[in-house]
Amino acid sequence: MMTRLTQLFLRTLRETPADADVASHQLLVRAGYIRRAAPGIYTWLPLGLKVLRKVEAIVREEMEAIGGQEVHFPALLPAEPYRATNRWEEYGPNLFRLQDRRENDYLLAPTHEEMFTLAVKDMYSSYKDLPATIFQIQTKYRDEARPRAGLIRGREFVMKDSYSFDIDDEGLDAAYSRHRVAYEKMFTRLGLDYVICEAMSGAMGGSKSEEFLFPTAIGEDTFVRSPGGYTANAEAIQTPTPEDVDFSDVPAPAQIHTPGAKTIATLVDGLNAEAAREQGWSAADTLKHVVLKVTHPTEGESLLVVGLPGDRDVDLKRVEAALVPAEVEPASEDDFKAYPELVPGFIGTGHIGPQGRKDEDGNSVITYLMDARVARGSAWATGGDEGGYHTINNVFGRDFDVDGRIEAAEIREGDPAPDGSGPLELARGIEIGHIFQLGRKYAKALGLSVLDENGKARVVTMGSYGVGISRIVAALAEEYHDEHGLTWPIQVAPAHIHIVATGKDPAIFEAATQLAEDLDDAQFDVIYDDRPKVSAGVKFADAELLGAPNILVVGRGLAEGTVELRNRVTGEKRELDIAEASQLIT
């Protein structure tokens, strides 16, 4: 395809936009790829859309290569399915909720687990229909608390989301592995470095979850890695500070629900983010943790981890009052031994969901129920769009004693990796992909089951897998730029070649036009700067700002039958015979 700059809907800017503080945001706006419509909401201009489409195409190819079938769901959805899974509430203020003229509740989908589950339920009924993997590339909406860095954290953004449906765990494992491999391929093809990190699988109740992080100093995620190859998102193993924690949307009233005998409940008593902030406390200062043994008449024994503001002592009566009809006592060393899932050196947690209420004094009481089977590490707080964090790295004997206190510790450079693979290094990154074994949570909530070989109904097990398509455009711009502008890798560049015609000689423009047409015929994407009255200096500056990997200059050399090919990244220049120009571009 050939695009003439005299025709292109484009206005480049010399000045850096005032609201843009990271390079990718600045350059995508300056080079006329995107424009801001509202905070965290961007309009795609022609060049931006070309890059977005190329990223989509690579992702689509890799999804199709693992048997994914593309569909397209609405973004505007009824509330009912999200009520059935509790996410209408759980999503908190991140969810865009609206009503139609009949006052029925709707939402703008932040992700589509519910709808995919229902679609499969609608259409499939037998094990013979499975396995299935379906995906879409679609616009998502999240009212992010802090939209930032242009496309990196938008309130409207493009995501590839896929969902796998299997009858058994082996099937789910296989679907998960296929996605993992597909993601490695697509990020490699896109030219994006990535680190695969163990992620928190908390609120969604899943078993296995990994994130693909693009390492960059401007990333909001902190991850850890060890020389032995251990990697994890620090979110999964670190204490959040009160700034990271949103306590405003804890659902009330509390209800202690105990999903099984081996449940650790965590009670964070009286922690008030506002008060903590006023005092200048971090969560690590604020919380101390006491481990208690809870004996419940029907649910049996469990360990309860109570987090308290640092200056308070645990009041067993109050905890008992919260847990009625259970009895509570300090846990002993033997109690720990009775829970083999609790890895030595770590107290395990993995929260299932927050339950909140106010006590007689009006303090909020937030209770977490923890399943020891997903245990690694300890401690907790609430917040985030999935309703919680873990905060781990509380090493037994170092940060707490059995019936003593746990000081929630922040993960530090040099801490030992949990798998013993050496000291941890901290780095920053941006989440570009996320793969997740959901298990049967959504299928159960929405009644998706199929008949097995014996005619018995079996609840389907699911995976969900996301890629941040629009975020990737920004990540690429972050990785591929210099002080002059963007430097796209060829597979995602809006054009393979940017032709600059210099001077005023009509012969130059004729030759440049011919070259542009020839290259277009040879299936290259071409930007042709045919502006008649713009200086060579301005044209070169624009070519560098726009960032096509090859710049072909048609100018004075034409008299000798030559043109100049410049490599946008290295700056290397070569004189070429005009006839061979189209062959030499790669």
Q: How many residues interact with ligand ATP (rule CB under 6 A)?
A: 16
Q: Are the CB atoms for 403 and 332 separated by under 8 Å?
A: yes
Give Cα separations from 54 to 44, 85, 252 (angstroms): 14, 35, 46
Peptide bond preceding 131 in cis form (omega within 30 of 0) = yes
- Closer residue to Mg ion, CB minimum distance, 179 or 405: 179
- The reply on whether position 434 binds Mg ion by CB under 5 A is yes
- Measure the CA dihedral 186/187/189/192, to 10°: 170
In the complex, the smallest distance separating the C-beta of residue 429 from ligand ATP, rounded to whole angstroms, is 10
356 binds, among ligand ATP, Mg ion, none (CB under 5 to 8 A by kind): none
- The reply on whether position 494 binds ligand ATP by CB under 6 A is no
- Closer residue to ligand ATP, CB minimum distance, 24 or 470: 470
Residue 389 to residue 376: CA distance in whole angstroms: 13
In the chain the first and final C-alpha atoms are separated, in Å, by 16
- The reply on whether position 431 binds Mg ion by CB under 5 A is yes
In the complex, the smallest distance separating the C-beta of residue 384 from Mg ion, rounded to whole angstroms, is 7
Which residues, numbered 330-389, are part of the site for ligand ATP (CB under 6 A)? 385
**Part of the chain binding ligand ATP (CB under 6 A), chosen from 19-27, 405-413, 467-475, 485-493:** 467-475
Paired strand residues for 461: 166
**Part of the chain binding Mg ion (CB under 5 A), chosen from 105-113, 393-401, 430-438, 550-558:** 430-438
Which residues, numbered 110-149, are part of the site for ligand ATP (CB under 6 A)? 111, 142, 144
3-state secondary structure of 77: strand
- Closer residue to ligand ATP, CB minimum distance, 179 or 434: 434
> What is the CA angle 240-246-251, rounded to 5?
125
In the complex, the smallest distance separating the C-beta of residue 478 from Mg ion, rounded to whole angstroms, is 18
Closest to 63 in 3D by CA, of 160, 157, 159, 129: 160
**Part of the chain binding ligand ATP (CB under 6 A), chosen from 12-20, 26-34, 352-360, 462-470:** 462-470
In the complex, the smallest distance separating the C-beta of residue 431 from ligand ATP, rounded to whole angstroms, is 4
User: Which residues in 130-155 are b (16+ Cβ under 10 Å) and which e?
Assistant: bbbbbbbbbebbbbbeebbbbbbbbb
In the complex, the smallest distance separating the C-beta of residue 66 from ligand ATP, rounded to whole angstroms, is 18
Q: Are strands 364-371 and 156-166 parallel, antiparallel or unpaired?
A: unpaired
3-state secondary structure of 334: helix
- Closer residue to ligand ATP, CB minimum distance, 178 or 296: 178
- The reply on whether position 154 binds ligand ATP by CB under 6 A is yes
**Part of the chain binding ligand ATP (CB under 6 A), chosen from 98-106, 314-322, 427-435, 480-488:** 427-435
Q: Is 343 exposed, middle or buried (0-12, 13-18, 19+ CB in 10 A)?
A: middle
- Closer residue to Mg ion, CB minimum distance, 198 or 529: 198
Q: Length of the chain in residues, anyone? A: 586
The site for ligand ATP (CB under 6 A) is made up of 111, 142, 144, 153-154, 157, 159, 385, 431-434, 466, 468, 470-471
The site for Mg ion (CB under 5 A) is made up of 385, 431, 434
